[in-house]
Amino acid sequence: MNEIIIDKKEELVMKLLHYFITERGYNPVIIRGVKDEIWLENLEDDYKIVRIVSGYIHNNEQFKFDIFKTKNLLKTIKKKTLSFKINALSIFVNLGDNVDISEFEDTPNIKFANIHEASDLNKYRFVTTAFPDITKDMNFKEKGLELFMKITSDINKKNEGDAKMNEDVFRPKKPIVTYVLLALNILIFILCMFNDNILPMFAVNRIYITELHEYYRLITGIFLHTNLLHLVFNMYALYVIGMQLESFLGKWKYLLVYLLSGLGGSMLSIFFSNNFSVGASGAIFGLMGALLYFGYHYRVYLDSVVKSQIIPLIILNLLIGFTSSGIDNWAHIGGLVGGILSCMAVGVKYKSSRFEMINGIIMYLIFIGFIGYMVFVRGI
């Protein structure tokens, strides 16, 4: 059985697929109408798109058309994945001798490599810089059918592992923290109905916080509501958004994002206003910001939800806040920023790196620290 011979170009394509999928975490992209080429996607890598092209291109005119086609497809992927910039690497294994790829080296955001064997990749510095281990990891001792079986098995194992991780993230979980937050807000509202002193004692207010040092108001204010309509609106939003986000992030990360978002909203509120401010809306805007950040990391699965629901919902509510009286829109904006940064700090499962999480912590501390300095030290 091991005497079965696999075409050299097919073997090279298989080795490239094995490397990019199992070693670099790329996933195949299904593109209709494309033949004799494989598109791979990893939105976290330097080259978000890698093309492995096995179709024969015999002259520069055909190569120019290939570039034109690639650019149009990249625009579609860019919109779909909410990416600002997409760098692509096209690896050709069947270029004709009449094609001179050096003429196209200045093509924006696309790099080209022409190879006949794995070692040819070493000729391209941009390849070895981005993928320093590529030729080493494409060196197999197996041959023929044994090589085919190994590569197929490794890729299947990688795909099964990815499927399990996605199932772990998106599997519905009981939203215990959301239920607790709902109950706490409702209970406090009922208590306020029987005691008129609770609202003025615990509401967010710059003078009480800066001059009387009642810092607890920065958090207690996010659990208070002025009337039933205010409570119902916020609790409905908390129920809808919170159930999803708690399932995605996990209980403790979700709770931390909620509280840090509320703190961000309270801090920006006292920076711009001396009025009393209450309500969970700042924290809820933070949950929307966190959902936006999570959706960006899982945009392959949630791009339509992010574009059609989350972003319009955030914009609509901010516009309502700016055009209506009696709404503390600064708390909304502070909560939104706090939610994005705190979600970055706690991390998105299977996606966030330690470096990214440390950056999130630093950026959140800068955000809160700057406002705190301006309010408490400079007195602005």
Reported as a single tens digit per residue, the pLDDT across 324-343 is 878 889 999 999 999 999 99
Q: How far apart are CA 15 and CA 261, in angstroms?
A: 47
Q: Residue 6 above 70 pLDDT? A: no
* pLDDT score of 35: 80
Answer for the pair 31, 66: CB distance below 8 angstroms, yes or no: no
Which of 233, 324, 222 shows the shortest CA–CA distance to 265? Answer: 222
The least confident of 61-65, 146-150, 220-224, 253-257 is 146-150
* pLDDT score of 129: 94
43 versus 373: which is more confidently predicted? 373
Q: How far apart are CA 93 and CA 101, in angstroms?
A: 13
Q: Which residues contact 147 (CB under 8 A, 6 or more apart)?
A: 6, 11, 14, 140
Answer for the pair 89, 24: CB distance below 8 angstroms, yes or no: no
Q: What is the pTM of this model?
A: 0.82
Q: How far apart are CA 211 and CA 376, in angstroms?
A: 9
Q: How far apart are CA 74 and CA 78, in angstroms?
A: 6
Answer for the pair 95, 104: CB distance below 8 angstroms, yes or no: no
Parallel/antiparallel/unpaired status of strands 49-53 and 110-114: unpaired
* pLDDT score of 1: 44
- CA distances (Å), origin 162, targets 24, 231, 248: 13, 41, 16
Describe the crossing of helices 281-297 and 228-249 by its angle, rounded to 10 degrees: 30
Q: Which residues make beta-bridge pairs with 307?
A: none
Q: How confident is the model at residue 44 (pLDDT cuts 50, 70, 90)?
A: confident
The CB density around residue 14, as the number of other CB atoms within 10 Å, is: 20
As a three-state string, the secondary structure of 75-139 is: HHHHHHCCCCCCCEEEEECCECCCCCHHHHCCCCCEEEEECCCHHHHHHCHHHHHHCCCHHHHCC
Cα of first residue to Cα of last residue in the chain, in angstroms, is: 80
Any idea which residues carry the catalytic annotation?
281, 332
| Among the four given CATH numbers 1.20.1540.10, 3.40.50.1980, 3.30.70.100, 1.10.3720.10, the one describing domain 173-377 | 1.20.1540.10
What are the domain boundaries of the chain? 8-169, 173-377
Q: Would you say the C-alpha torsion 251, 253, 258, 263 has a positive or negative sign?
A: positive
Burial class of residue 133 in the structure, from the number of CB atoms within 10 Å of its CB (0-12 exposed, 13-18 middle, 19+ buried): exposed
Q: How far apart are CA 153 and CA 150, in angstroms?
A: 5
Note the pLDDT tens digit of each residue in 106-157.
899 999 999 999 999 999 999 999 999 999 989 888 887 888 888 889 988 9
The rounded mean pLDDT for the chain is 90
Amino acid at 29: V
SS3 for 50? Answer: strand
